[in-house]
Chain A
Amino acid sequence: MVYVSRVGMVKIGRHYEKSPRDLAFEAVREALADADIDSIDYLVVASSLTYMQSPQLDLAAYIASSLGLPVKSALAVEAGENSGLAAIEVAVNLIRSHAAEKVLVVGVDKLTDYPSGPTYEMLEALYDTESDAIYRIGHAAPLAMLMRIYMEKYGVDRNTLAYWPAMMHAHAKENPYAMLRFAIKPEKVATAMPIADPITLLDAYPLGDGAAAVLLTSEDQVGDHLARIKEVAGAVGMPSIALREDPLMLEHVAKLSNELNLSEEKVDIIELHDNFTIMGLLLLESLGLAPRGKAAELVATGYFDVDGEGPLVNASGGLKARGHPIGATGVYMVAEVALQLAGKFPGVKRPGAEKGLAVGINAHGSSTRIVVMESV
């Protein structure tokens, strides 16, 4: 069995004076503050944009040697926006295969070291640079096109879609680690600055820096744990929305959800990938947690909110308002779900939560990973 024993997070935002290494250090220090740990078997680092920016190779070793605690071995995992959960997957498998007993996962990325233009250009590489990203699609164009198709196909109006970011901001307001800690009114979303129409600034994740750390252990390593990791599973999707049978359906996510029986079992807590409003909705539908074309309406009527009938979705504020430091985000998700299952999340929470999910993808869905967690 693999446990989430400790977690640490840095408040996402502009950390201009801090390097990726500094941010990783802070997250690890917070995670291990009260842990009786004198060494780590393995450090797994999740990062993505760092390699295009700093530049720094063998990043994990350089982070490991700056933590002030012995680390036997270190490696880095890169899977775009899905890097964080990919690192969790590697760490879980290191423990399951008895290659390690104490594995530290650190996710870190910086999005404010460069002006927004060059940053959008780096983010363009999350898409396929041999097909769609030959063109100047930036970070949002494929999802903007999915949003237009969604509104047209299901006859959902722009204002119904605005309840997603409004819910995310309401949640982030209560989360001390979130970047955008203020409420917004749904009616402000449609008329906000356009990013790639119909996506506006209030549908889009903010550019922020962050780092999160999670200590995973086997039994008997640390006396108390926050949560247990039951499953981690990944899948690869089509390289472009143009190749999907139905552009609004993430088939690989649906398949994974079936394999994990997610729509059958009661899930209390979900942190999922809403880089833009539309992706939050498409993931709920692809996971089978909302009927096709109905996710926006369910969100608008509070089904996924703290007092709703459904699972509580993105109590952190999601990528939209907690923030989305690309490679680090999945590690935030696992930390947040673990804290929820332990009843210790410092924000909007669902008391008594027993089962939680972290769901991540890259870009339009080139890959996905789902982590299933339970309370201990």
Chain B
Amino acid sequence: MVLARWWRTRIPRYRLIGAQCKSCGRAHYPPRKACPYCGSTELEQVMLPRRGILESYTVVQSIPGDTRFQAPIIVGLVRLENGVRLVAELTDVQPEELKLGLEVEATMRRIREDGDNGTIMYGLKFRPVLGKS
């Protein structure tokens, strides 16, 4: 992943900021310049709830890149408390603990490392809410 692109998208990625459409009322993540549902450009940035449930998940074995030391990669489809969905990596969870409906919360983690220039990229992953699994 290119450093400049990573830098440009950092704020919503660090703070879980979405966009709320003033026209149709729907919110989405990450924030886009136009509403993906109705096309309106009347959007305002909103903080999204940091908790949600797992609507689906997978344990990725076909590891992209040279990440054999970080396997397994677990990816989830998370539905936040306000209904906004997003795809994100999961962390602090074992594959056998995964289940549909699991309550999860956002937490800051290392997402990628750029091997060539040593940059470490951070962002939000989701982990089970303690005592709810």
Contact = CB atoms under 8 A, between A and B. Distances in A.
Instruction: Indicate, yes or no, whether A interacts with B.
Output: yes
A130 B60 contact: no
Contact of B62 (A148, A149, A195, A240): A195
Contact of A242 (B86, B111, B123): B86
24 contacts: A117-B64, A120-B62, A121-B64, A129-B1, A130-B5, A131-B30, A131-B86, A132-B87, A134-B13, A135-B87, A135-B89, A137-B64, A138-B63, A140-B60, A146-B56, A148-B56, A149-B56, A149-B77, A193-B61, A196-B59, A198-B58, A199-B58, A243-B28, A243-B36
A120 B65 contact: yes
B62 A116 contact: yes
Pick from B58, B66, B86 the residue with the most CB of A within 10 Å: B58
Interface string B113-131: 0000000000100000000
A136 interface: yes
A53 B127 CA distance: 36
B15 interface: no
A236 B28 CA distance: 18
A144 interface: yes
B58 A152 contact: no
Interface in B33-70: 36-37, 55-68
Interface residues on B, range: 35 or more
B63 to A, nearest CB: 6
B60 A141 contact: yes
B4 to A, nearest CB: 12
Contact of B61 (A132, A146, A196): A196
B61 A145 contact: no
Contact of A243 (B5, B75, B85): B85
A263 B111 CA distance: 44
Interface in B89-123: 89, 100, 111-112, 123
